[in-house]
Amino acid sequence: MHTPGATVRRSWAPDLDLDTFYALLALRTAVFVVEQECPYQELDGRDLERRTRHYWLARDTGESVEIVATLRLLVEPGGGYRIGRVCTRGDSRGHGYGHQLMDAALAEVGSSVCVLDAQEQQEAFYRRHGFVTTGERFLEDGIGHLPMTRNG
């Protein structure tokens, strides 16, 4: 299903309205917990950090704003950035929405170091954005992951 008129939106955590925040968490839970059958603690305490940015693609249906994809950009305690919680609604995949979000987040990251833990099957997706694998495969919540870094 093509989602016409999807627009990249961004908000600092403290400025995020409650309805949008709820919709972002609902999408992440639908993908990571329900679809991937991976019961884990989705709320990790970092969503509301003052310097956290949330990105999402949304379209206005006339009756509501529909979130079709999201990602989270964190500032790491030791410097640099971390991208995570990248997901697209099942019926909206295959249209490049994840790439749009990555491009927007990486424009903000600029030449700073950015890290992420990629699900193994998404390694090629992140390589397209300049990330390289920097460590050994590890299991997180029963899913193989790879540490990846982008050095600007």
Q: Spell out a b/e string for 48-83, using b for 16 or more CB atoms within 10 Å of the CB, else e.
A: eeeebbbbbbbbeeeeeebbbbbbbbbbeeeebbbb
pLDDT digits (tens, 9 = 90+) for 1-44: 344 568 899 999 999 999 999 999 999 998 888 877 777 777 88
Global pTM value: 0.87
Whether 135 has a pLDDT exceeding 70, the answer reads: yes
7-109: what fold?
Aminopeptidase (3.40.630)
